[in-house]
Amino acid sequence: MNGQKIKSIREYLGMTQAELAREIGVTRLAVSHWEIGSRQPSVLATRAVEMLGELRGPDKRIEMEKVAKERFDKIKPQYFNNKEDWGTSIRL
């Protein structure tokens, strides 16, 4: 993973270099070096950055909310007798 990719993931997540560093257990200076290309991250650090991008981006929150609503819509007939009961016990 090159420095530009790390920077784009960090910016996508809305994080500073210090926040990303703290999240993956490295120093802010390490993240800075990766982004400018003077050093390469370890395989483990690279994977940690990739996983954060996969799991925490703003698009993921919207996607997860959509999946949760679809699952709820599938199960609600099993738990509520009529439409008037829908959503009175469970709120999203």
pLDDT tens digits, 79-92: 555 555 445 555 55
Give the count of domains, the chain: 2
Tell me phi and psi for residue 82, to 5 degrees.
Answer: -140, 170
Chain length of the chain? 92
3 with 48, same domain? yes
Residues 32 and 64 in one domain: no
- Over its C-alpha atoms, the chain yields an Rg (Å, rounded) of 20
The two three-digit tokens of residue 42, written as one number = 């370890």
- Domain limits for position 32: 1-56
Question: Which pLDDT score, from 0 to 100, does residue 56 have?
Answer: 74
Query: How is residue 26 written in tokens?
Result: 């490295």
CATH of the domain at 39: 1.10.260.40
What is the model's pTM?
0.62
Are 45 and 66 found together in one domain? no
Q: Tens-of-pLDDT digits for all 92 residues of the chain?
A: 899 999 999 998 889 999 999 999 999 999 999 999 999 999 999 999 988 887 776 666 666 677 777 777 776 666 555 555 445 555 55
**pLDDT for res 55:** 76
92 and 79 part of one domain: yes
Pair 49, 77 in one domain: no
- State the Cα–Cα distance between residues 5 and 11, nearest whole angstrom: 10
Among residues 24, 9, 23, the alpha carbon closest in space to that of 59 is found at 9
Same domain, 13 and 26: yes
